[in-house]
């Protein structure tokens, strides 16, 4: 199914189950398939789960322009409004966490009951004079260089290394999980995925987090090699009013796969708190 945005982009989405809506925003350079474990689990437990492909990713239009957070957030709003979702819980993984934060910053919480940030990029990844604890730009320049030179191998290296923590002693992440990461990544448009690197790394979400006025859950692994815990979850939970932080000890970035059962149950418990 698709929603058409004001600039004519077609945004693909899945709509599973029935009940109060849960909207899942995926990470870079993936698509809504990366949420399948949680989508299936939550839909089986009484929720309507909507997961879309960000523009330029998966089955959505590979637009030349609009590969930045304001447009991503507006696309999310287009899905929410087209489906007339109310009392929704917005859940964002990695780059999707930035999308959720920017959605609230631009569109408010009139349709939102809860928010959850999972291994998410807010509040601000890039190291700058007023964000000295951030990640140096050289790290993101290296991803850009790899993407431009050989993006297929870059995605394989991410899957085989830091994304799932497969490079840690004793870790084992199945070949299937790593292959799925590569397959989804290659479905993204080349320009879209390249420009999204700046979107997730250089966007300052601190003003957006200050506008979050609904119950918020932050989940992050403390061995995240992609969005370091101190830069991501720990910092976001300190900036969001009354946010609750759950830390997964020793967990990598890609906990939607490596910790899928634990994540599903933690999200379900959070949803049930609102539903009483």
What are the catalytic residues? 94, 224, 253
> Which of helix, strand or coil describes residue 19?
coil
Maximal C-alpha separation, the chain? 52
| Cα–Cα dist 265/276, whole Å | 16
Return d(Cα 122, Cα 271) in angstroms, integer: 22
Gap between the terminal Cα atoms of the chain = 32
Helix H, strand E, coil C: the string for 94-116 is: CHHHHHHHHHHHHHCCCCEEEEE
27 in Cβ contact with 95 (< 8 Å):
yes
């Amino acid at each position: 199914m698709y929603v058409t945005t004001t600039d004519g982009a077609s945004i693909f989405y899945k709509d599973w189950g029935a009940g109060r809506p849960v909207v899942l925003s995926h990470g870079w350079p993936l698509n809504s398939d990366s949420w399948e474990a949680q989508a299936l689990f939550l839909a089986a437990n009484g929720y309507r789960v909507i997961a879309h492909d960000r523009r330029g990713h998966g089955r959505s239009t590979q637009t030349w322009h609009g590969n930045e957070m304001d447009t991503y957030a507006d696309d999310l709003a287009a899905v929410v409004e087209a489906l007339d979702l109310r009392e929704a819980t917005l859940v964002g993984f990695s780059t999707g966490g930035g999308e959720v934060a920017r959605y609230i910053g631009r569109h408010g919480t009139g349709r939102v009951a809860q928010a959850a940030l999972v291994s998410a990029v807010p509040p601000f990844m890039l190291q700058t004079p007023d964000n000295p604890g951030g990640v140096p730009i050289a790290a993101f320049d290296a991803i850009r260089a790899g993407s431009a030179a050989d993006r297929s191998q870059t995605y394989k290296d991410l899957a085989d290394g830091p994304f799932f923590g497969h490079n840690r002693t004793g870790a084992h992440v199945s070949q299937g999980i790593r292959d799925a990461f590569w397959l989804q990544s290659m479905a993204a448009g080349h320009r879209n995925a390249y420009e999204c690197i700046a979107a997730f790394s250089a966007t300052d979400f601190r003003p957006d987090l200050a506008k979050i006025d609904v119950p918020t859950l932050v989940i992050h692994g403390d061995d995240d090699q992609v969005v370091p815990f101190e830069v991501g979850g720990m910092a976001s939970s300190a900036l969001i009013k009354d946010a609750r932080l759950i830390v997964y000890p020793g967990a990598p970035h890609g906990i939607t796969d490596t910790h899928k059962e634990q994540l599903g149950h933690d999200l379900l418990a959070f949803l049930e708190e609102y539903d009483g």
